[in-house]
A and B are shown apart, each in its own frame.
Chain A
Amino acid sequence: MTIDASRGVQAPPELVQLLTPEGERVEHPDYDIDLTPEEIRGLYRDLVLVRRIDLEAVALQRQGELGIWASLLGQEAAQIGSGRALTDADMAFPTYREHGVAWCRDVDPVKLLGLFRGVNHGGWDPVEHNFHLYTIVIGSQTLHAVGYAMGIQRDGAEAAAIVYFGDGATSQGDVNESFIWASVFNAPVVFFCQNNQWAISEPLEKQSRIPLYRRASGFGFPGIRVDGNDVFACLAVTRQALRNAREGNGPTLIEAYTYRMGAHTTSDDPTRYRVADELEAWKLKDPIERLKAYLFKNQLADQAYFEAIDAEADALGRDVRKRCLEMPDPDPLAIFDHVYAHRHPLMEEEREQFAAYLASFEGSEGR
């Protein structure tokens, strides 16, 4: 046996695609999908509405109403495609950018904004939506998801976990540990990596010498790359990976090959590290434009439909803005409410001390 000098760079990467950037439907032998016109229009509506929510949130940040926002611009298809593949029983573990998946899990967008406005620490009940709280620490949610999946396994439940992370997270120890754990325990989990090409300012070349989906084989489970701007392909591949997981066939790594068209967050300036040409090239692969072209060419929707969706999106944007500005500042004592699930003597003590401190100011009630 000799040392492989190719450093793992072998065949060119394969990409599952069902809808080309021009809006042409293509077949794939392993991953095909049969959707009704209504379902396809539903996907289009999802894509447009989450983009609108995102745009409104960016504007609110620029107006000083949010502390920060991580835009999903360009990644809508990866999130809607995978999010709509989930059953109610499946559990999703997001990063801080999964606004599209949150939409699919029926989380009110205003609740997402609350976190970034600093009025809550994640305003939704993860159990109610089977959508975990946003995780800011890079990659740690992969471990949570694997643990949850092992719980599903032990309960014998008909469900799977899906965990979202980015290309940068694949360099994290947590993610690699979760791969090992999921692999050896055959955990029912889908690793959904949105490779948006940039880990803040760090390009993919600095994360991996091989396509990310090929990493899975080293851990002993399948990996697959999907066109992350193709909502059909994302839906089809994720559905199958989730089905495999539920049926006891273990984890899958899905690399959704996409592009972060905006800044990493509102605190970032991507023009400092990437060239404008790159963005222009990816704009031609826009996830919404290709589906719109498909719908139009196949006469599944007309201009009036698109205008109606746009009007709905604008109304949603206004509604999100209005309700965001109306969100009340929380009671300072609320910070103690969810530290522990049950009453805890230390928490009680600290809460009393803090209440006394607050009462010590002029104009406050109490002593």
Chain B
Amino acid sequence: MRREFKLPDVGEGLTEAEIVRWHVKAGEHVTVNQTIVEIETAKAIVELPSPYEGEVAALLADEGQTVDVGTPIIAIEEGAPDAGPGRTSSVEDLVPSPPAEGAVEPGVHGSPAPKQAAPERQPVLVGYGVKLGAAKRRPRKAPQPSAPAPAPVVPSVPRQRGGVTVLAKPPVRKLAKDLGVDLATLTGTGPQGTITREDVHAAAAPRQAPPVEARPAPAGREERIPVKGVRKATAQAMVASAFTAPHVTEFLQVDVTATMDAVRRLRELPDFAEVKVSPLLLVARALLVAARRHPIVNSAWDEAAQEIVVRHYVNLGIAAATPRGLIVPNIKDAHTLTLPELAAALTTLAETARAGRTQPADMSGGTITITNVGVFGVDAGTPIINPGESAILAFGQVRQLPWVVDGQVVPREVTTLALSFDHRIIDGEQGSLFLRDVGAMLEDPLRMLAWS
């Protein structure tokens, strides 16, 4: 009788193994527990013993081949026609069930997802992940009308249970206490008369309260927005970034009183008469100066080449909220611009974005990004790195806070900087030094001059 030995899961939750070496070949006689093959799993190299005695009919997998658990790897012709008990194999046993082609994941509507090169493993807590594929489920019987569940019994007359210990679990007791329900007045509907959570809720609810009916949601309660365009691009970029680059975010609170003074004084200079001078301008300048001191923050991870690309130029991205959604145009070669030029570029960029006229070229090739979350009146966030870059700086709102200067608490203008960086490229030390330098320059803008 021909027996096929299917690759077993030899290590608690493995899904596949590589055939390393066959110890037998077709035509050879094998005995039970004779080593027939070496396999390598994610955990170990393991020798597999034959479960059958007989002649090897065929090797069904090649050395070097990776085989899914459950795939037959060897066929053995057992000597006796009826060799003991053992399992009877059926056709179903022998044919591996391939994952259904084009299986649609539950919950996904519309057109099928783009075909992926290889099915991805779903990460699980233990082991090596679950293979995607159609889950096999036993068919259920057609639903039959069933008797309505008995409504919880609400006692109409509270019953005194003096002297008798009331049965209720501690969380239910707490709930009763919180809702002001006296447990002794209730009759429990749980096992052995235990008072349940539902009993307490029922007692706490006003008696005449009408039953809450499930109503169909009136029009306008929900709205479905097709995901496309900027939203779709943003979603893809954010997911790609968040799940490929390990993000680290660091925060720094900075006294920017001096910077705010500098902004006011710059506005009065004739050179800046035609352009808008905002605190963002000095943050951008500080970032450019710091990036020159720490070039690694202005780099990119090249997965294909397994290289880090350090850029000696800065295309400074500025995240902009537009009616169409978030876009991140960048200022090309921002490191070469004078301060008035930088101010002009920022103004143009913002106006173009707001007008919805930003061209795709304006949004590609960025090397590092600033997101000015402060304009929305918030202090900080954990920004997600723009794909293809290695760091992003969030600039929070500037507001007056009590600050200690020379041992005295005084009102100062304070902001929060948050720097997210790709930890594959940038170590905590490098990221921290960069952030510290940006903060130091905003604390004392003279440093910007000193370090330029």
* Chain A residues with a Cβ under 8 A of chain B: 55-56, 59, 61-65, 67-68, 263, 266-269, 271-272, 318, 321-322, 325-326, 345-346, 349, 360-363, 367
A256 to B141, CA, bound (A): 58
- The A-contacting residues of B in range 3-55, CB under 8 angstroms, are 5-12, 32-33, 43-51
Closest approach, in angstroms, between the C-beta of B3 and any C-beta of chain A?
Answer: 11
A62 to B48, CA, bound (A): 6
Q: Are B140 and A63 in contact (CB under 8 A)?
A: no
The 8 Å CB contact of A325, one of B48, B85, B138, is B85
Q: Are A63 and B48 in contact (CB under 8 A)?
A: yes
Instruction: Give me 11 other A-B pairs in contact (C-beta within 8 A), A63-B5, A65-B8 excluded.
Output: A56-B33, A59-B33, A62-B46, A63-B8, A63-B48, A64-B10, A266-B11, A268-B44, A269-B43, A271-B45, A272-B44
Residue total for B at the interface (Cβ-Cβ under 8 A): 30
Q: Are B192 and A62 in contact (CB under 8 A)?
A: no
Ranked 3 nearest A-B pairs via Cβ: A64-B8, A269-B44, A345-B191
Query: Of all chain B residues, which has the CB nearest A364?
Result: B141
Chain A contacts for B50, CB-based, 8 A = 63
Chain B contacts for A63, CB-based, 8 A = 5, 8, 48-51
A68 to B49, CA, bound (A): 15
A345 to B140, CA, bound (A): 28
Q: Are B12 and A361 in contact (CB under 8 A)?
A: no
Q: Are A267 and B11 in contact (CB under 8 A)?
A: yes
Chain A contacts for B33, CB-based, 8 A = 55-56, 59
Query: Of all chain A residues, which has the CB nearest B51?
Result: A63
Query: Of all chain A residues, which has the CB nearest B46?
Result: A62
**Can you list 25 pairs linking A and B with CB atoms under 8 Å apart?**
A55-B33, A56-B33, A59-B33, A59-B49, A61-B8, A61-B10, A62-B8, A62-B47, A62-B49, A63-B50, A64-B10, A65-B51, A267-B43, A267-B44, A269-B44, A269-B46, A321-B32, A325-B85, A326-B85, A345-B191, A345-B192, A360-B141, A361-B138, A361-B140, A362-B139
Chain A contacts for B141, CB-based, 8 A = 360-362, 367
Query: Of all chain A residues, which has the CB nearest B192?
Result: A345
Chain A contacts for B192, CB-based, 8 A = 345
* Chain B residues with a Cβ under 8 A of chain A: 5-12, 32-33, 43-51, 84-87, 138-141, 144, 191-192
Query: Of all chain A residues, which has the CB nearest B137?
Result: A361
Chain B contacts for A325, CB-based, 8 A = 85-87
Chain A contacts for B11, CB-based, 8 A = 266-267
Query: Of all chain B residues, which has the CB nearest A362?
Result: B139
A326 to B191, CA, bound (A): 40
Chain B contacts for A263, CB-based, 8 A = 44
The 8 Å CB contact of A67, one of B12, B46, B49, B84, is B12
Q: Are A367 and B48 in contact (CB under 8 A)?
A: no
A56 to B8, CA, bound (A): 16
Q: Knowing A59-B49, A325-B85, A346-B191 touch, does A267 contact B12 (C-beta < 8 A)?
A: yes
Closest approach, in angstroms, between the C-beta of A320 and any C-beta of chain B?
Answer: 12
Query: Of all chain B residues, which has the CB nearest A267?
Result: B11
The 8 Å CB contact of B84, one of A55, A322, A367, is A322
Most central of B6, B7, B140, B141 by chain A CB within 10 Å: B141
Q: Are A64 and B6 in contact (CB under 8 A)?
A: yes
Chain A contacts for B51, CB-based, 8 A = 63, 65
Q: Are B44 and A362 in contact (CB under 8 A)?
A: no
Q: Knowing A345-B192, A361-B140 touch, does A269 contact B45 (C-beta < 8 A)?
A: yes
A61 to B5, CA, bound (A): 13
A237 to B284, CA, bound (A): 78
Chain A contacts for B32, CB-based, 8 A = 318, 321
Q: Are B10 and A62 in contact (CB under 8 A)?
A: yes
Q: Are B43 and A268 in contact (CB under 8 A)?
A: yes
Q: Are A362 and B140 in contact (CB under 8 A)?
A: yes
Q: Are A322 and B85 in contact (CB under 8 A)?
A: yes
A345 to B190, CA, bound (A): 10
Chain B contacts for A349, CB-based, 8 A = 191
Closest approach, in angstroms, between the C-beta of B87 and any C-beta of chain A?
Answer: 7
Closest approach, in angstroms, between the C-beta of A332 and any C-beta of chain B?
Answer: 12
Most central of A59, A68, A321, A345 by chain B CB within 10 Å: A59
A266 to B48, CA, bound (A): 11
Q: Are B144 and A367 in contact (CB under 8 A)?
A: yes
A179 to B84, CA, bound (A): 50
Query: Of all chain A residues, which has the CB nearest B45?
Result: A269
A236 to B165, CA, bound (A): 56
A269 to B43, CA, bound (A): 7
A322 to B11, CA, bound (A): 23
Most central of A68, A267, A322, A362 by chain B CB within 10 Å: A267
The 8 Å CB contact of A68, one of B12, B46, B87, is B12
A256 to B140, CA, bound (A): 55
A363 to B141, CA, bound (A): 8
Chain B contacts for A67, CB-based, 8 A = 12
Query: Of all chain A residues, which has the CB nearest B49?
Result: A59
A101 to B169, CA, bound (A): 43
Query: Of all chain A residues, which has the CB nearest B44?
Result: A269
Q: Knowing A321-B32, A361-B138 touch, does A64 contact B191 (C-beta < 8 A)?
A: no
A67 to B139, CA, bound (A): 27
Q: Knowing A64-B6, A322-B84 touch, does A360 contact B43 (C-beta < 8 A)?
A: no
Query: Of all chain B residues, which has the CB nearest A361?
Result: B138
Closest approach, in angstroms, between the C-beta of B152 and any C-beta of chain A?
Answer: 16
A56 to B51, CA, bound (A): 11
A67 to B140, CA, bound (A): 29
A243 to B101, CA, bound (A): 69
